[in-house]
Structure formats: C-alpha cells, structure tokens
A and B are shown apart, each in its own frame.
Chain A
Amino acid sequence: MTFIEVNNASKKFRINQRASGIPGMIANLFAPKYEYRQAVKDISFSIEEGEMTGFIGPNGAGKSTTIKMLSGILCPDSGEIKVGGFSPYKDRKKYVGNIGVVFGQKSQLQWDLPVLDSFELLKAIYRIPEKMYRDNLERFTEMLDMSGFLQQPVRQLSLGQRMRADIVAALLHSPKIVFFDEPTIGVDVAGKETIRQFIRELNEKDNITMIFTTHDMQDIEKVCDRLIIIDEGTKVYDGELMGIRERFGTTRQLDVEFVQECSVEPIEKVEILELDQRKKRFIFENRDVKIDELMNELLAKYSIRDINISEPEIERLIRRIYQGEVS
C-alpha cells in the first residue's frame, strides 16, 4: 500500500535582496527587490508503509523543505502531497498526531527541566493513554539506555544523551511515520551506533515508516534500504541503496604496489594517483578500459608486489552525483 504519495510538489521562496549600507536600507524600504529561489521543483515519489528511506542531498538541495512539506509545516505552491490518507497541510490537527519529527538541530525538550518533565508534557499534549505512555517509556528507555539521566535537567546532558531523549520524545505517542532530520549530527561514534541500531530495530519490529535525512553516509549505509537523492530541488536518484553502485558505480579503482620505486607512464583514459613512493592508484571507467587489459599491461611493464581491485565507496559516488559528474 502506498503510504506517502508526493506528486509534482514545488516550493518557491521569496528572498529580499537587501543592498548594503544606509542608502541601501532606505532603497529597500521603498522599493524592495526580491529574488525567487526554487527550493523544490516538481518532486514526485511514493513510499510504502514500513519503508525506511534515506533522503540525502548537499546543503540547500531542498531536503528540509521537503520534510517540512511532508510534515505539514509548509504548504507546497503546487502539486499534491498525501500521507496516510491525509493532506498534511489541510488536516493538520488530525494528521500530526500520527507523525513524529526529530530535528537534530532543534530540541523540543524543556531546557531547564528534567527529561521526564518534557515527556509528561508531551503525554498531555498528545493525549497519550497512561498504559501506552508507560509501555513506550519503559521500552525506549531500556533500548537507548537512558534510565541514568531521565531525572537530569536537559541543559546538563551531553549532546548524545540529549539526542536520544529527543528521539524518545518524538516516539512516545506511537506515531506511524517518523521523520528524522539529521538525528546523529554532532554525536560521537558510539552514540551514532546506538541511535542507528535503535532506529533500525524500531523500523523492523513496529513497521513504522521512516524518512531519514543526514549528511553521514554511514547512517545511510547502516540504516536505510532505499535512497532518494535530491539536488537543486529535483530528484536525481530514487531506488535501492545497493542499486546506486550498479547505476553510477561505473568507475573502478586499482591499487598497485610495485616492488621498487618507479614512475608510471601515462595511460589513456586512466587517472593515476600517487599514494606513496611505491603505491599508485589507477582510476578508470568500466566502459573505457578493460580491467584485464590494464592489468596485463601493468604486469608486463613493471614488477608488481600486490594488486587490489576495489569498487568505489557509496560516499564517493554520492559526492560525484552532487558534483554533477555522473547522471
């Protein structure tokens, strides 16, 4: 069943172009100049119930705008968005009871009060039944190892602890859909791992539909099955995480360790990087260069100690997609 359906959604922002200095300020007052920025352009996708989708793109690509349209904060200029049968913007009050949103950069907890007080407040806001509240609190506290700091004021928590508390805050009312907007930002390696495992487990056991934005490729590789990449407001990739290698992973790299220091003659259509004095990396496109021919050539010309063929890392691929090198 299609759970989230986005059809040709677009959103434009009007930005006031302020000239600098006092004359500029006065000019702006009487004849403001505006510039329009298309944050999201004709985006369409659909997500099934229980899917775990990574949503990535460079800064300013339109990720946050899309999340905000999906969660009902922003109204699309054109196009249609349906989530679980609701139109997020129009049916706000009924809709938002079904979703949870974690903004990694903006806490929803009460800064001066113990974590538990914020949870009690959410219980009242979302009208969470006593039993559901107790069960969820107990389960999540256990899973995220939070019992040690539930009574501590939020301002005294470490970033990792605060983030865990924020994630629980978004889940207490048992939402059917959860949006994670950079939920691991600034968290240390161990903390990130705890958060990823928790999200993964929750997605599998409770069949919660999740959308996840991040800049950390490890997050994506460890958590998501599906990937949507957007850049400059348009969708550039939508499919399985592994499919990205098939579609864009046409480069290969060959790390060669020579027996002794040597210089390598340039080879047509192969990029050669010097790793250290005796190690070199050969990067090339599959369609341009046959790997066996290249290896034969190298073996014939030089004495070689070791060869290592590797596929490009997802992170590298995605960086190249951002840079528009592949399409």
Chain B
Amino acid sequence: MENCMDVMHLIGVYTKTIMKSWFQYKVDAVLRSLAVFLRESTGIIVVYFTLLKFDTLNGWNVYEMLFLFSLLFVTYGILILFFTGLRDFGHTVRSGGFDRFILRPRGLLFQIIFVNADWFAAIGHGGLGITLFLVSAAKVGIVWSFDKVVYYLLAIFGGVLIQGAVFLFLATLNIYLLETGSLKELFYWNARKFAGYPVSIFHRAIQIGMIYIVPFAFVNYFPAQFLLRKEDMAAYPELFLYLTPVLGIVLYLLAYLFWRYSLKFYKSSGN
C-alpha cells in the first residue's frame, strides 16, 4: 500500500514536471494538441469525401469507416500517453538518457513511460478518436448493451497493448542497432496506414501481414466487426472477433521478455 502511494506520488511529480516544462512555452503547448488534431483530421477528411462519391467500400459505408478510424485514434491517444518513451527510445539511448535511467533506483520501463508521457499529443489523437466515435457511433446501428460496452473497453485495452508490444519490440532492437527509425516506419507507420481501411479490401499478402505479422487488424478491424457484423467477416474465423485482449496481453508479455533478455547486451552510447 505504501509502495503504491509512493509510485503514484512519483507519477504525479513526473506529470507536474512535464506540464511545467511544456508551459514554459505556453502558446506552443496549446497549439500542439490542436496541430496534432488538425494534421490527423486531414487524412480522415480525404477519406470522408472520397467515400461520399463511392457510397460503400466492400460493404462499409462512410460512418462505419469513421467508426473503424475512431478505434485507431482512441487506442493511439492512450498509447501515446504511455508509450511515447518507447517510440522515441532510440533518441534516449543515443543521448545518454538511458544511462541516467539505469542510475536511478526505479524500474526502467516505468521511467521510460512516465518521464516521456506526451499529454498534448494524447489529447490531440484521443480527442480526434472521441470526435469520430461520437459522429459515427449513433449512425452505425450499434445497440450499446452492457456486453458490448465491456467488449468495447476490452478491445481498446487489447488494441493499446498490441501497439505497445510493437513499440516495445522495436525499442528493444535499439539496444542492438542504435538506430531503428526505418524499421519503425516499415512495421508500424505503414501498417497503420493500411489499418485505416477494412483489411478485407487488400491483396492476400497484405492481409497476412496485417493479421499475422503486425496484427493491426486486431486493433480496429475485428473489434469493429464484432460490433457491426459486416458480410466480409465471412472470410475469417469467428474466433478472431474475440482475440484482441488476449493477443494484446500475450504479445506485450513476449515483447517484455525480449526486453528483459536484451538489457544485458546494452552497450551505452560512449562519450
């Protein structure tokens, strides 16, 4: 109990420090959330107007597409709050910041996560996710029973962990490679671009990538399918609808074990 209080206290002090640092440049801090929101919205607006011309995409109408997008942004909003430090871990290693974490009597992942929590980007991405959810949820015909609310929350949890596992895995590679920017581009950001659309529209090879390699399909497509039940689900096993939370936990644990194993190979960055 005392331990828990101590950890909460430290998280509080970290958060206060982050806020204070950001508000040294007040205008920038506020604009940052807005800039993230607008930048990400642009992509959505393009899709929105394109779809208005086509009516549906493989059976998905505009609002169902927006709902699919909302899952991507809500999970990313939470992800970016907790995993910015892992996303930018390469920089932390090169600048010697990780040496400093090792010298402090706290968990390494704990420090990486809470020292770098990016509240403003989280508000930008999460805000967009919530906006999309509010716009689409009422128009896609989901009846929000208790079961479905619980499922939705579990799917968000699993979706965050799946992406968190990808971040943690790529961060761990930094211990061996120092620079992994292009791998991140390939395996995370490109995969995420595909994830904006129903996975069923893609070539078989891309589908395999999205389901078995970087399983983004479980972040938004299958959870959306559980709630919307579109016809294109027929191509996939029913089981996939329920896998998201389990997959999140399993992948994250695997990435965590890889992280623990790799730490002893850490070389520091030299002076």
Chain A interface (Cβ < 8 Å from any Cβ of B): 13, 64, 68, 71-75, 89, 92-94, 96-97, 99, 101, 103, 105-106, 108, 110-113, 117, 120-121, 124-127, 153
Contact = CB atoms under 8 A, between A and B. Distances in A.
Given A106-B96, A106-B100, A110-B17, A93 B106 contact: yes
B98 to A, nearest CB: 9
18 contacts: A64-B270, A68-B268, A73-B99, A73-B103, A73-B266, A74-B267, A74-B268, A92-B102, A93-B106, A96-B104, A97-B105, A103-B96, A106-B95, A108-B100, A111-B21, A124-B10, A125-B104, A126-B104
B268 A73 contact: yes
Interface string B4-23: 00100110011001001100
B106 A71 contact: no
B42 interface: no
A68 B98 CA distance: 12
A64 B14 contact: no
A113 B20 contact: yes
Contacts of B270: 64
B271 A105 contact: yes
Given A113-B24, A125-B104, 17 more contacts: A13-B267, A71-B103, A72-B103, A73-B102, A74-B268, A75-B264, A75-B266, A97-B105, A106-B100, A108-B100, A110-B21, A113-B20, A117-B20, A120-B13, A124-B13, A125-B10, A125-B105
Nearest to B12: A124
Contacts of A126: 104-105
A89 B14 CA distance: 26
Nearest to A95: B105
| Size band of the interface chain B makes with A | 20 to 34
A112 B17 CA distance: 10
Residue picked from B10, B95, B99, B103, most chain A C-beta under 10 Å: B103
Nearest to A97: B105
Contacts of B271: 64, 105
A103 B269 CA distance: 13
Contacts of A74: 266-268
B189 to A, nearest CB: 21
Nearest to B18: A110
Contacts of B264: 75, 89
Contacts of A92: 102
In the A-B complex, the 5 residue pairs with the smallest Cβ-Cβ separation, listed nearest first, are: A97-B105, A124-B13, A112-B24, A112-B21, A124-B10
B114 to A, nearest CB: 11
Given A112-B21, A117-B17, A124-B10, A93 B267 contact: no
A124 B9 contact: yes
A249 B266 CA distance: 41
Interface string B173-212: 0000000000000000000000000000000000000000
Nearest to B25: A112
Contacts of B10: 124-125
Contacts of B21: 110-113
Interface in B13-39: 13-14, 17, 20-21, 24
Interface string B247-259: 0000000000000
A270 B103 CA distance: 52
Interface in B99-138: 99-100, 102-107
A94 B105 contact: yes
Interface in B47-104: 95-96, 99-100, 102-104
B270 to A, nearest CB: 7
Contacts of B267: 13, 74
A317 B106 CA distance: 43
A73 B101 CA distance: 9
A117 B264 CA distance: 32
Contacts of A106: 95-96, 99-100
Contact of B17 (A101, A103, A113): A113
A19 to B, nearest CB: 17
A153 B20 CA distance: 11
Contacts of A71: 103
A13 B176 CA distance: 12
Nearest to B21: A112
B147 to A, nearest CB: 42
Contacts of B9: 124
Interface in B216-271: 264, 266-268, 270-271
A96 B102 contact: yes
A101 B103 contact: yes
A153 B268 CA distance: 28
Contacts of B107: 93
